[in-house]
Structure 1
Amino acid sequence: MTDAAVFKFNSHAEFEAQLRDCVGRARLTLAMFDPDFSAFPLGSSETDAALRQFLAGGGAIQLAMHHSTHIERHYPRFVRLLRDFNHKIEVRATPRSLHHLTDSFCIADGSHIVRRFHSDHMRGEAAFDAPAATELSRERFAAIWLEAVSTLHATTTGL
């Protein structure tokens, strides 16, 4: 990422603010990776409203993670969102061979990114209107997505 387009952050509040900005800029796609999404505010009413507006406007979401347990237990709003927009949200779980991956990121429309260097820490950076800054993470996400399998379905049968 170029220095001119980078916004660094070091706290949970700063991360959430950058993430809200990234989601707010998205029009077509949101691609997110995190080991369990425990730091993402997917359960908040503000995030729910922003994601509903994004999806109603024609957007699509892809989430890749190691474990979906945190979302299932702590984010009932997101589970409802998944049920309401199951044709526009796809969630996949990584195989054990990828569980060593510890970064965390959200890419909007291939032009905006919020990235934490390690999922255990809030230190990271965001770049907006910077497609080149998202390139490495987009390639990484594509590789993760290919190896991951479908999980976290809207119903118990996955329909």
Structure 2
Amino acid sequence: MEKQLFDSRTQFQALLQDCISEARLTLQMFDPNYEWWQLGHSRTDALLRHFLQHKGQLKLVAHSNAHLERNEPRFLKLLEDYSHQIECRLTTRSIATLTDSFCVADGVTIVRRFHSDHFRGEADINNPSSTQTSLERYEAIWAETQPGLRPGTTGL
């Protein structure tokens, strides 16, 4: 499949759900706060539950978990139900200015927004070469994180 460009919230969210539905083993996500990801939406919740029921591993990195804690109760329930398969991390101050946003499924599918304040970006399904740079970047970001959102720390 060819790289798809997008420039709207609707396109981003549809492509993100496609990316999640493609995942079998790993989902690696980075966004400053996940405000536009709809991680608590019923459709996204169903996709993530299916992925996790089949032993997938979900790794999220954010600058802040405030949006998830305040506005995504389904995601918090998902975290509680699958805490052994979900790891949420927070960036340290040294990289708190990063502004891109991306999701990589199984190292071969990616949805990437070039800047988290805008919906302009690209998606590439089942193309490992398109994810290489983002995966290397993700590993570098992950190395600069600390534990973040955990079940029970949000009043659950």
User: Does TM, scored on the shorter chain, surpass 0.5?
Assistant: yes
- Any runs of at least 4 consecutive aligned residues in structure 1 with deviations exceeding 2 A, and if so which? none
C-alpha distance in 1, partners of 2:13/2:20?
Answer: 10
Determine whether 1:130 maps to 2:141. Answer: no
Determine whether 1:71 maps to 2:68. Answer: yes
Quote the residue 1:94 is aligned against. Answer: 91
Amino acid at match of 1:104: S
Q: What is the aligned counterpart of 1:7 among 4, 25, 30?
A: 4
Alignment of 1:138-157 (within 5 A): 138-156=135-153
TM normalised by structure 2 equals 0.97
Of all paired residues, the percent bearing the same amino acid is 51
Q: Identify unmatched segments of 5+ residues in structure 1.
A: none
C-alpha distance in 2, partners of 1:23/1:8?
Answer: 18
Q: Identify unmatched segments of 5+ residues in structure 2.
A: none
TM normalised by structure 1 equals 0.95
Quote the residue 2:115 is aligned against. Answer: 118
Q: Alignment RMSD, CA only?
A: 1.1
How far off its partner does 1:97 sit? 1.1
Quote the residue 1:44 is aligned against. Answer: 41
C-alpha distance in 1, partners of 2:57/2:118?
Answer: 28
Amino acid at match of 2:57: A
